[in-house]
Amino acid sequence: MKNYTSLSDMENLQEIISEALALKKQNSSANPGKGKTLGMLFFNPSLRTRLSTEKAAKLLGMDVMVMNADKDGWALEFEDGAVMDSNKAEHIKEAAAVLSQYCDIIAVRAFPGLVDREKDEQDLVINSFKKYASVPVVNLEGATSHPLQALTDAITVTELSNRKRPKVVLTWAPHPRALPQAVPNSFVEVMQRMDVELVITNPEGYDLDPRIIKITPVIHDQNEALKNADFVYVKNWSSYEHYGQILNEDRSWTFDKEKLDLTNNAQVMHCLPVRRNVVISDEVLDSPNSVVIHQANNRTFAAQAVLKKLLSPPTPEGGDSYNE
């Protein structure tokens, strides 16, 4: 594997889920990361991604350097050919090349602006690192995807499912701030690669990118969609159609006990951070149905499996080489 910036970088989902679960059982591992350094750049806040990825790297024997790039780094210019006479002090070309001298893997978090859809879809920060770094790049949540969260979610469903083809419902929930579509996009993409019955439910105007939805059913009646669900993944996102806007804050979409009662005693997932009693009620989050902490724990093993794969020597057949 050359990079992990999108789910499509991961050819064999089942293999990497098994690897992550084996690493989870193992507790410690051989040290494929000894003498190697992971550099993490955060352009936005994080709790889980930052700490679970650092922990994963250390479990593999790696050294870790973390920078809050938005606060501590030079303001970066991403435009090719820019005349840099304003507030941007450093070009991504030098920044990525220099980081590649210090790090064996570079991991980056950079949220979308949620104003200009075409611009966000270029995922400029992650893709520029990919273009100008000479080492593998890992997406720690970019403008349109969060593949490490999605791998975690696939691992969690695999681990906790007690039936052959569980019904998995992704439901929108209200939130006071405009949030990206990255988490639901990646969740849908990864579930489409699993043996599950996936249903998406959201209010009118909140349909995700049709290129992500593909043939997955979208039901605008939440109560209808929740029927017989074995897993419910709750998440807010801002409108894709009316890009970045909050069209409604309808609290009738909050996932509470009444909604849970419509399901097949579903296990309730959320990537966290979650706003209690807006997105999910206290009663549900504090009930045995909530698996959000179990899910957050799995972030470590997802990251460990991905970092391990990126550290493994290129295969002679090519494909996994990252030195071309």
Residues that bind ligand CP (CB under 6 A): 46-49, 141, 149, 271-273
- Does the footprint of ligand AN0 cover residue 166 (CB under 6 A)? no
Looking at the Cβ atoms of 114 and 271, the one nearer to ligand CP is 271
Q: Give the shortest CB-44-to-ligand CP separation in angstroms.
A: 8
- At residue 169's C-alpha, the angle toward residues 254 and 159, to 5°, is 115
Residue closer to ligand AN0, measured from CB, 39 or 180: 180
Cα–Cα distance between 190 and 171 in angstroms, integer?
Answer: 16
What sign for the dihedral angle of Cα 206, 211, 213, 214?
positive
Residue 271 binding ligand AN0, by CB under 6 A:
yes
180 binds, among ligand AN0, ligand CP, none (CB under 5 to 8 A by kind): ligand AN0
> What residues contact 15, with CB distance under 8 A and at least 6 apart?
none
State the alpha helices, DSSP H only, in 73-192: 92-102, 117-121, 124-132, 147-160, 182-191
Alpha carbon distance 14, 248 (integer Å): 38
If the CB atoms of residues 33 and 184 are measured against ligand AN0, the closer one turns out to be: 184
Q: Binding string to ligand AN0 for residues 114 to 153, with x set by CB under 6 A, is what?
A: ---------------------------x------------
Q: Nearer Cβ to ligand CP, position 6 or 100?
A: 6
Count the residues in the chain: 324
| Residue 179 binds which entry of ligand CP, ligand AN0, none, CB below 5-8 Å type-dependent | ligand AN0
Question: Bridge-partner residues for 255, per DSSP?
Answer: 280
188 part of the interface to ligand AN0, by CB under 6 A: no
**Residues 281, 272: Cα–Cα separation, whole Å:** 14
- If the CB atoms of residues 98 and 272 are measured against ligand CP, the closer one turns out to be 272
SS (H, E, C) 172-197: ECCCCCCCCCHHHHHHHHHHCCCCCE
**Which element (helix H / strand E) includes 198?**
strand 197-201
* Binder of residue 47, out of ligand AN0, ligand CP, none (CB less than 5 to 8 A by kind): ligand CP
Is 222 in contact with 171 (CB distance < 8 Å)?
yes
- Measured from the CB atom, is 205 or 273 closer to ligand AN0? 273
Can you tell me which of 7, 38, 182, 279 binds ligand AN0, judged by CB under 6 A?
A: 182
For 201, half-sphere exposure in the C-beta direction (CA atoms, 13 angstrom radius) is: 23
| Residue 72, CA atoms < 13 Å, CB-side half-sphere | 8
> What, of ligand CP, ligand AN0, none, does residue 113 touch, CB below 5 to 8 Å by kind?
none
Nearer to ligand AN0, 33 or 142 (CB): 142
The site partner of 270 among ligand CP, ligand AN0, none (C-beta below 5 to 8 Å per kind) is none
Total residues at interface with ligand AN0 (CB under 6 A): 7
Return residues touching ligand AN0 (CB under 6 A). 141, 179-180, 182-183, 271, 273
